[in-house]
Amino acid sequence: MPVFQFNPPERFVAGTVGQPGERTFFLQAVGEGRVTSVVLEKAQVEALATRVEELLEEVHRRFGPPPDDAVPPEDDEPLRMPIEEDFRVGTLALAWDAEAARVIIEAQEIEDGSDEELTEDDEEEIEVFAEEAPHRDVLRVYLTPGAARAFAGRALKVVAAGRPECPLCARPLDPKGHICVRQNGYRPGRIV
């Protein structure tokens, strides 16, 4: 199976296509004249960005400030078009390469024939990176600490840019209408 490797990428970002509430989330790596775009869930993007920040904090705590920690300029550009899905992500892995002082992010293709529905815990699980021969398509990206920090910042912005929350129930407001559980007429202790 192909391994799409970028060491380092010219650009590595999380982005979306579609309107809030109906967005498709992508990780996109650009480098050496090629573009790799993989689809994943919103929860996976959020979990990956959070774990990248936690990893960088742990590296800083254990080893001091890493080299190449300068954050590149903010990248608010849209995803590179045309967007062609290379595969759908099932498993994410994250590691720190101490020798190269790089964050390694690996996205593996979801296993074919898996009829099991992923739970939220499964989607958010980030596995420890392991050097194994992949039996699925893999996107592997090596980032400087600064580039990883920039990736995480943008990814969290992309996740937060969805539908606004209802001020009463904190669930996403749908442009087509919203049934708020706090406005359904039910009040505890009241007999109708």
Global confidence as pTM:
0.76
The label of the residue with tokens 């899905």 reads 85
Tens-digit pLDDT profile for residues 132-173: 545 789 999 999 999 999 999 999 999 988 777 777 777 777
On average, the pLDDT of the chain sits at: 82
Say if CB 175 and CB 21 are below 8 A apart. Answer: yes
Task: Determine the average pLDDT of the residues in 51-67.
Answer: 90
Whether 35 has a pLDDT exceeding 90, the answer reads yes
Count Cβ atoms within 10 A of the Cβ of residue 162 and give its class: 0-12 exposed, 13-18 middle, 19 or more buried.
Answer: middle
Structurally, at CATH architecture level, domain 3-161 sits in: 2-Layer Sandwich (3.30)
Q: What's the pLDDT score for residue 184?
A: 63
Q: Provide the residue ranges of all domains of the chain, joining segments of one domain with +.
A: 3-161, 164-192
Q: What's the pLDDT score for residue 191?
A: 54
Whether 87 has a pLDDT exceeding 80, the answer reads yes
Three-state DSSP state, 162: coil
Rg for the chain, CA atoms, rounded: 19
Q: What's the pLDDT score for residue 126?
A: 46
Q: For 79, how many CA atoms within 13 A lie in the half-sphere containing its CB?
A: 24
